[in-house]
Structure 1
């Protein structure tokens, strides 16, 4: 028997849901807010002043809208659908929607083509970019950040939060610390704190950046950030823009999109993201994790290094093709078979 429902609009329901998600960290809450805004905007445009009236057929229409009119990729739709499902689960709990509506949110499966995600920043491309910067802009801030991103597979917030005292060049490691009180939290809080070893080449690049190109800065808290600009600690937006800028293909060769560099909007300051082939820090993190997986690094070591669970790595970062994964599994089975044959 259907319960009596309490009238509520989409925007108010979203506010209550986000307030209720005390289990999420602030950045995760913002990610949920961004995804739900797309849903709320559509609901309001369709005239849904009360979620009581929402049906499974309406959810199907929204899904069709996201795919056909917004051009959302299957992998993105899959990730967003988990948030929509959680939202409607909450709405059911406060008598805002019909019982069973959350179960009608379809979570799309991904085929082999979908697994080649639309950011597809392959490790070899990052290596080529690093080689290019190393020749023409060695030990610049961008060179040092890209080298650390690709070598460590860290998040941009972790890189931004590094202080001079966290970078141990003589001992070849960096230490990521959670410092929310001075605006440099780690995504996973204290659980994200960890030391990470550096290769000699990367440590050398960081050392040369520090000696030659780092702008000396000290914050009011007394902290001395490692990556700096003339305004202070490097900002998240500055990190993103640097990665977008350096991953434009025209930085190393011809434009694959037949654009004229003289008129291309992506060549303007702050608009590098307008290039279809430019990539964000998240994509460099994906390329780094894919590199480690292809090099057959121990899975538990990768999880600790990049501070992500095996499930998260599998769903969001592993860029290997299905054939690469099958080959890896076959090799693993052969190793185990040889091992047991020797006993």
Structure 2
């Protein structure tokens, strides 16, 4: 430990960092940083390190080994997850150097894990066949329930869960068959890309009809804590982000719509048949996977990339890399209609 450093506990250092960054990043980003760094703080405690002055490059390397090979009760980190963990740790240590808690050069000397091309692309997505089967089942047996509307909008608008969470009753225009996604941070509903993510999205008449029937028959007549009238509700108010995510996990399990279990499990004994454990089913998918499947389906149907980009609030570059899951042959077929017979 250098005599030039000022002692500070890891917990106090984390509090300082989170407070310093409170207005620099979105709340969801800050929450992610808190979770990543808490893992590091807990590990330091397990190693008997109670002063950030004692953290050096060897300490950081030992933590990387722990995350890569053990990671406590969690699954060991892959390269992509590790890069995110260490990137946040570097920012943390850089801020602590401002108050002389760690050497100024420490964060600069930490190297991020190298990611091979393609490693940062998540391949999980809901294919159109499964999406249609889920929606057909829900149209028969769960018609116009809040989870039916949510899955329908995930699929037909390529929305994020935050988009659905932010919707108010007034954002549904039944005359124009449209939804307005609006960033309202002052009343705690944010879009991922802030005001830049605001957009109006057209919906088909059959989708609008389901929303109308939901509002008339199954929407709870409640306000949220800010006096707004949310579209997606529970008895307590606006449906939370977690609730909306749980709807996605729940209805992407094959057994829920009467399909056989692809994992040879007995539904009568499988713990993932419990709604609260739905995310543990290997076949269940969250909103992000449904969004990726939706974007791919739109592209396969011939929707121009720029239209899908604006509709889904995603840049064309990011769309191509992370969201469009078509294979090389499918992409060739899409291009075929634009190729003239003679030039």
Structure 2 length-normalised TM:
0.82
CA RMSD of aligned residues (A): 3.3
Q: Secondary structure at the match of 1:146?
A: helix
Q: Provide the C-alpha distance between the structure 1 equivalents of 2:66 and 2:293, rounded to a whole number of angstroms.
A: 31
Counterpart residue number, 2:11: 11
Higher mean alpha-carbon deviation, 190-199 vs 96-105, is at 96-105
The 8 Å contact of residues 151 and 288 in structure 1, kept in 2 or not, is answered as yes
Residues 202 and 72 of structure 1: CA distance in aligned 2, closer, same or farther (over 3 Å): farther
Higher mean alpha-carbon deviation, 189-198 vs 245-254, is at 189-198
After superposition, residues 1-343 of structure 1 pair within 5 angstroms as: 4-21=4-21, 22-70=23-71, 71-98=76-103, 99-112=105-118, 115-117=121-123, 119-219=124-224, 222-252=227-257, 253-294=259-300, 297-309=303-315, 313=319, 317-318=322-323, 320=325, 324=328, 328=331, 342=343
Q: 1:131-160: per-residue Cα shift (whole Å, max 9, x none)?
A: 332233222221111111122222222212
Q: Offset of 1:332 from its aligned partner?
A: 7.0
Q: Provide the C-alpha distance between the structure 1 equivalents of 2:332 and 2:106, rounded to a whole number of angstroms.
A: 39
Q: What number of residue pairs does the alignment pair up?
A: 335
Q: Provide the C-alpha distance between the structure 2 equivalents of 1:122 and 1:42, rounded to a whole number of angstroms.
A: 40
Residues 105 and 49 of structure 1: CA distance in aligned 2, closer, same or farther (over 3 Å): farther
Q: Offset of 1:109 from its aligned partner?
A: 0.3
Q: Provide the C-alpha distance between the structure 2 equivalents of 1:127 and 1:103, rounded to a whole number of angstroms.
A: 51
Residues 244 and 221 of structure 1: CA distance in aligned 2, closer, same or farther (over 3 Å): same
Q: Offset of 1:124 from its aligned partner?
A: 3.9
The 8 Å contact of residues 75 and 115 in structure 1, kept in 2 or not, is answered as no
Q: Offset of 1:184 from its aligned partner?
A: 2.5
Q: Secondary structure at the match of 1:174?
A: strand
Question: Which sections of structure 2, spanning at least 5 residues, go unmatched?
Answer: none
Q: Secondary structure at the match of 1:115?
A: coil
The 8 Å contact of residues 167 and 175 in structure 1, kept in 2 or not, is answered as yes
The 8 Å contact of residues 5 and 101 in structure 2, kept in 1 or not, is answered as yes
The 8 Å contact of residues 82 and 107 in structure 1, kept in 2 or not, is answered as no
Residues 311 and 38 of structure 1: CA distance in aligned 2, closer, same or farther (over 3 Å): farther
Q: Secondary structure at the match of 1:270?
A: helix
Higher mean alpha-carbon deviation, 251-260 vs 239-248, is at 251-260
Q: Provide the C-alpha distance between the structure 2 equivalents of 1:238 and 1:103, rounded to a whole number of angstroms.
A: 42
Q: Provide the C-alpha distance between the structure 1 equivalents of 2:93 and 2:332, rounded to a whole number of angstroms.
A: 38
Q: Provide the C-alpha distance between the structure 2 equivalents of 1:34 and 1:183, rounded to a whole number of angstroms.
A: 21
The 8 Å contact of residues 173 and 195 in structure 1, kept in 2 or not, is answered as yes
The 8 Å contact of residues 300 and 330 in structure 2, kept in 1 or not, is answered as no
Q: 1:31-78: per-residue Cα shift (whole Å, max 9, x none)?
A: 111111112211221222223333333323222222222322333333
The 8 Å contact of residues 14 and 37 in structure 2, kept in 1 or not, is answered as yes
Residues 14 and 319 of structure 1: CA distance in aligned 2, closer, same or farther (over 3 Å): farther
Q: Secondary structure at the match of 2:180?
A: strand
Question: Which sections of structure 1, spanning at least 5 residues, go unmatched?
Answer: none
Q: Provide the C-alpha distance between the structure 1 equivalents of 2:270 and 2:107, rounded to a whole number of angstroms.
A: 46
